[in-house]
Amino acid sequence: MKRKIIVMINGYGVPWNILQDDNYERYLTAVSKILKGYDVIGIYLAGGYTNDPCVSEATAMQDWFLAKRPEWRRKLYLIERPVTARHNIEDFCLTINSQTASEDLQVMIFCEHSRRHAMGFIARRLFDKHPVIKGINFDQSSPKILNNIKSSLRYLGVVASFQIPLIYEWQKKARNNKLLVMQEKRMEMYRKKRKSLKLSVEQKERLRIYNQRLGGY
């Protein structure tokens, strides 16, 4: 009998077309192969509006699963509010902790390989049962030694943020400032491509609100 699991998959940005993005293809294909060995109860796709003000990371990943793994469509859930890994896990924990307490479910969290130690540190402080952390090495743009350095720095940053709340507030502010820069770059691309883009009603409304906030164009 397959082990019952409930899953969270962290997103990493929103490409123009997730079905043509090599990193996401490696990442989500690897995740899918692992999940085939389990009885999957729910798949929570986690990631808010980061580099794209109109499409969340969760929605982008949902598009991939609906195209590549349509048999799981009824098991997909979106966590779209957070824009940091810590907020992803916090929202996921609030959503499923009561379920895992009442059922014999294993919690499994997927992330980019260099973030696995930091994710594990956060998860162990939030969940009643320790989740399994699966780091997927899908980003081939960085050398292994650089990924190891990033992993150590992220882990230290996460530990410090739990110990000193002021550091966490600074991290959130720095993250928000970085997101504004990335979103403005994406908005410039929307401006250039807007006549050829096919946006949903929800995306158009988010785009309108975003432009209104910036003074329009």
Give the CATH number, domain containing residue 9: 3.40.50.620
Compute the CA torsion angle 189, 195, 197, 203 (nearest 10 deg).
80
Residue 36's pLDDT band (cuts 50, 70, 90)? very high
pLDDT tens by residue, 44-53: 999 888 888 8
pLDDT(89) > 70: yes
Q: What 3-state DSSP class applies to 42?
A: strand
Quote the mean pLDDT of the chain. 82
Residue 52: which domain range? Answer: 4-214
pLDDT(93) > 70: yes
pLDDT tens by residue, 135-151: 998 877 666 677 677 77
Burial class (CB in 10 A: 0-12, 13-18, 19+), 50: buried
Give the predicted TM-score (pTM) of the model.
0.80
Q: How far is CA 206 from CA 46, 47, 213, in A?
A: 19, 16, 11
Count CA atoms within 13 Å of residue 71 on its CB side. 4
Total structural domains within the chain: 1
Place of tokens 């820069």: 181
Q: Which two tokens stand for residue 137?
A: 């090495």
